[in-house]
Structure 1
Amino acid sequence: MEHMQDPVWIAALAAVMAITGLVSGTLAGLLGVGGGIVIVPVLFNVFPFLSIPEAVQMKLAVGTSLATIIPTSIQSARKHRAKGAMDVPLLRSMIPSLIGGVLLGTVIAIFVRGYTLTAIFAAVALVVALNMGLTGVDARMRESFPTGFLRHLLGAFIGAISAMMGIGGGTVGVPLMNLFGTPIRSAVATASAFGIVISIPATIGFIYAGWGNPLLPPFSLGYVNLVGCLLIVPASMLATPWGVHLAHTIPPLALKRAFAVFLGITAIRMIYSLVT
């Protein structure tokens, strides 16, 4: 771990984290994804070059991503709500099931191996990318979002998968809400608030799970790297308003296609890491 005290190593880490923050913040505002869909694969691919042990790479990437999502999701949700696009009643009704799913997903993520989290991330991202890329902006299974048990089942699913992937809820929540009748812009705005509900309890879980692990790099609080948080968060918050502005100026179909492209690239990168 001595190399991590080297000024060159620290400078390289700072540059990577700052760039990651700018990109993830823009995507948080644009797509309601909380930035995790970018942060997790970037960190996962950078960590080997920084000589971080393979056994903790994925969990450290997921935990750090979840921690950075907290402030960026708050900022993104506030701005989307100010524009009147957020479905607040739908959000409130799903909070209990989202939290339940997060708790389940966090427990699973803590006990499985890192490559299992990588496989989950890649599989879900690829399915969502195909759905968003191949369907039209108005493609849907029904005209309104389900109520009762099915709504809570969907909420739990979104929460569990998001916690395991280290994402804010938009990656799974946006296409599901759109598929079940929620307009794409409203889905993006509402999913931005999912990130708040998901990231806080999941981050606490990853901190607890990694506490005292000797394989973790310096400046880590459990599976959350504080250097990453301190650098990614300000850059993300700076860039989030750029994404929100784009989300309300880009045509809906173009927004949906952009979402699909980013997810597809992410999935391919993660699958490649598994087979090689």
Structure 2
Amino acid sequence: MNPFTNPLWAGLGTGLSGGLLAGLFGIGGGIVMVPLLGLFLGLDQHRAQGATLAAMLLPTGLPAVLQYRRRGVQTSLPLVGVLILAFLFGITGGALVANHIPSGVLRWGFASFLVYLSLRTFLRKEVSPVDRGEAPFDLQGQWTWGLPSGLLAGVVSGLTGLGGAMVVIPLLASKLRMTQHEAQLTSLMMLLPPIGLPGVYVYAKAQGGLPWLVIGAVAVGFAVGGFIGAHWATRTQGARLKQVYAGFVLLMALIVILRR
């Protein structure tokens, strides 16, 4: 049997890939797990997105968070709380809308969003802690930008199956003047609670259930990959990390476009 079509091995490989990206870039892993679940197991866009959200319900990003903290990267717990609160409202609405959009249209919209995100990330100027001054980052903007960032992240997560970090990281970096590492740690901490539960419920109900064996394998692979990815990220300069991130997002958009 081809290991790439075996649900267990395909799930483990998909989770490992998503975890590596989560540790490296602070994202939820959906950017790669959604296309790979469709490519290896033939899941349509809706089921792949629902399965990805379900795999992220467990605190699979904890090894990556601990690795960032061990390397001295800082963030704000109140900001994480604000992001989580707003995210929960946004993801329910996004998931409800997504299940009324044809799979083909949803796939092309997903790919278009990835292309936009890649260009936006590549053009963004990386913040230097030296230029920023003594303050760790703009704490006064936690509510001003935290609420809309979390809400938008939730809507995008429900629509596309991404963890929401695709929106949160660029906004935190540009609006709160966080470094790439700080924004990524904040994003990973936001994903530790089961904030995707409302979206998973909507997808599972609309699709008549989800592939739980695959989801379990994805979760295990993700935890392992997250630790390895975070180890690499904390040893890579923020500007270079941002460039690699932008290039990979563009590659994932191409995979989504080419998949039938």
Scaled by the length of structure 1, the TM-score of the pair is 0.80
Displaced runs of 4 or more, over 4 A: 7-11, 81-84, 147-150
Contact 2:3 2:10 in 1 (8 A): no
Change (3 A) 1:10 1:182: closer
1:21-74 residue CA offsets vs partner (Å, 9 max, x unmatched): 2211111111111211110011122344xxx6xxxx111100111111222234
Is residue 73 of structure 1 aligned with residue 67 of structure 2?
Answer: no
The CA deviation at 1:163 is 1.9
TM alignment of 1:1-276, pairs within 5 A? 12-48=6-42, 57-71=44-58, 72-81=60-69, 83-138=72-127, 144=138, 146=141, 148=143, 150-180=145-175, 181-196=177-192, 198-211=195-208, 222=209, 224-273=210-259
Looking at structure 2, the residues matched to 96 and 251 of structure 1 have their Cα atoms a distance apart, in angstroms, of 31
Contact 2:82 2:143 in 1 (8 A): no
> How many residues get paired?
248
Q: What amino acid is the match of 1:101?
A: G
Contact 2:51 2:215 in 1 (8 A): yes
Looking at structure 2, the residues matched to 107 and 258 of structure 1 have their Cα atoms a distance apart, in angstroms, of 33
> Residue 116 of structure 1 aligns to a residue in which SS?
helix
Change (3 A) 1:81 1:203: farther
The CA deviation at 1:81 is 4.8
Looking at structure 2, the residues matched to 163 and 195 of structure 1 have their Cα atoms a distance apart, in angstroms, of 14
User: What 5-or-longer segments of structure 2 have no aligned partner?
Assistant: none
Q: What amino acid is the match of 1:60?
A: R
Looking at structure 2, the residues matched to 187 and 226 of structure 1 have their Cα atoms a distance apart, in angstroms, of 31
Change (3 A) 1:108 1:8: same
Looking at structure 1, the residues matched to 2 and 239 of structure 2 have their Cα atoms a distance apart, in angstroms, of 44
Looking at structure 1, the residues matched to 7 and 108 of structure 2 have their Cα atoms a distance apart, in angstroms, of 26
Change (3 A) 1:243 1:261: same
Looking at structure 2, the residues matched to 114 and 202 of structure 1 have their Cα atoms a distance apart, in angstroms, of 17
Looking at structure 2, the residues matched to 99 and 118 of structure 1 have their Cα atoms a distance apart, in angstroms, of 23
Scaled by the length of structure 2, the TM-score of the pair is 0.84
